[in-house]
Chain A
């Protein structure tokens, strides 16, 4: 059974700090990786996707992928209270579906 593991948190950071969210996956053959943000009572919203080793930046968000270590992370710079949400890591499965981690709850304190 392919798995995606995330620390459930909550992860608490002060406003303006860098939040670091981590994810590991079990299938070494995985090629596509996604980060979603989910506010309480809402559906997941795609933040970023990454396919290649290294870093990918989009505004305050940076996704980092290390396939050798089977590790993907999301950095949020200059964290804001509005970033408080659950962040879901997802990995593409062999049938084209996504396999989701259970999410990390982030709390940004003013």
Chain B
């Protein structure tokens, strides 16, 4: 079974804080993805990575950065959290393109 884990289920941060969201997969998948999900807007891709130290911008990268130093780990960084970044953040991984993606449990981030 594919397992994707995320560091926190719920997180509350203050405006201006630097926030790290961690994602780990245990199936040696090459591709990893970060999405955010908001009511009425659906799932939107923030960043993705095809390999270690590689990253590609998704549809809404502004205000975010990522790091992939090891194959199994993909981190999302909010450099200076803002209230409009309050959302559900979902990490996913896939073996290769075009294969299916598997999601982690999500982190519900609230920025106050």
Contacts and interface: CB of A to CB of B under 8 A. Distances in A.
**Prevailing SS type, chain A contact patch:** loop
A88 B106 contact: no
A104 to B, nearest CB: 11
Interface in A65-110: 88, 92, 95-98, 100-103
Given A97-B45, A102-B42, A42 B97 contact: no
Nearest to B105: A43
A44 B100 CA distance: 12
Contacts of B74: none
B42 A97 contact: no
Interface residues of B, number: 21
Q: Which size bracket describes the interface of A in this complex?
A: 20 to 34
A32 B90 contact: no
A46 B90 CA distance: 14
Contacts of B97: 92, 96
B23 to A, nearest CB: 12
A98 B42 CA distance: 12
A103 B42 contact: yes
A31 interface: yes
Nearest to A103: B42
Interface in A3-61: 31-32, 34, 36, 42-46, 49, 51
Interface of B: 31, 33, 40-43, 45, 48, 50, 56, 58, 90, 97-98, 100-106
